Amino acid sequence: MNLAHWPFAGLLLALALPTHAADAATVYSKGGSNPAAMACVTCHGAEGEGLAAAGFPRLAGLSAGYLKKQLADFASGARANPIMQPIAAALTAEEADAVTALLANKPSPQVERISRAAPAAELGAVLALRGAWERNIPECVSCHGPSGVGVGETFPPLVGQSAQYLSAQLVAWQQGTRKNDPNDLMGHIARSLSQDEVNAVSQYFATLTETGAGQ
């Protein structure tokens, strides 16, 4: 075949490519095909690291399954949030698939894995590593993994998130605006925690990256 035909063929191919072949990087940095699907980068940061001071969570390194479930839960209102609801609802399924796969491939924070048997004196460490079984509160690391690094598609990381974001989620479960967890696992736990306990355990996971190997 005459090589001179190739640029033209490439152009035809580009035109013929279905618009649903969503480009993850474009969705992340410029937004989805629907203008209401605002660019993620504005709030979640250049590398998906989040913006702690504003309560915008880290997305980098979270599992694609968890991220996709959250987008569906925002869209349905099972996780009520006035900022994310319209954005999640405006993403096409292909755009959600693409952008969550991109984020899952980004690095997770590096953190020292703390054993469940490690000494735990302060309230946050006690809840994280021992729980409060007299009130049916399991230790957080039993589901969220050592140092809260996350386990599989179901249990998200807690380490790498800010104390503001973590405590806001626990309060959302207490108030019933977030009710998207399987079998009310987190709802039961959050409602069993006092405000002091919410603050202490959120602070505990938020500061692990500072005391550990760093991000």
Binding residues for ligand HEC (CB under 6 A): 27, 37-38, 40, 42-44, 55-57, 59, 62, 67, 69-71, 79, 81, 83-84, 87, 91, 99, 127, 137-138, 140, 142-144, 154-156, 158, 161, 166, 168-170, 180-182, 185-186, 189, 201
In terms of CB distance, is 42 or 211 closer to ligand HEC? 42
Residue type, 76: S
As measured in angstroms, the least distance from the Cβ of 184 to ligand HEC is 10
In terms of CB distance, is 4 or 32 closer to ligand HEC? 32
As measured in angstroms, the least distance from the Cβ of 9 to ligand HEC is 33
Q: How far apart are CA 187 and CA 198, in angstroms?
A: 13
As measured in angstroms, the least distance from the Cβ of 213 to ligand HEC is 21
First to last CA, the chain: 52
In terms of CB distance, is 177 or 212 closer to ligand HEC? 177
* Cβ proximity of 179 and 190 under 8 Å: no
Buried b (16+ CB within 10 A) or exposed e, 120-158: beebbbbbbbbbbeeeebebbbebbbbbbbbbeeebbbb
As measured in angstroms, the least distance from the Cβ of 2 to ligand HEC is 43
As measured in angstroms, the least distance from the Cβ of 13 to ligand HEC is 27
> What distance lies between CA 199 and its chain's CA centroid?
19
In terms of CB distance, is 14 or 167 closer to ligand HEC? 167
Q: Which helix (H) or strand (E) holds 28?
A: helix 24-30
In terms of CB distance, is 153 or 212 closer to ligand HEC? 153
As measured in angstroms, the least distance from the Cβ of 197 to ligand HEC is 8
Token representation of residue 93 = 């399924």
In terms of CB distance, is 72 or 212 closer to ligand HEC? 72
Residues 139-147: contacts with CB under 8 Å, at least 24 apart: 140/201, 140/205, 141/116, 143/185, 146/113, 146/114, 146/115, 146/116, 147/111, 147/112, 147/113, 147/114, 147/208, 147/212
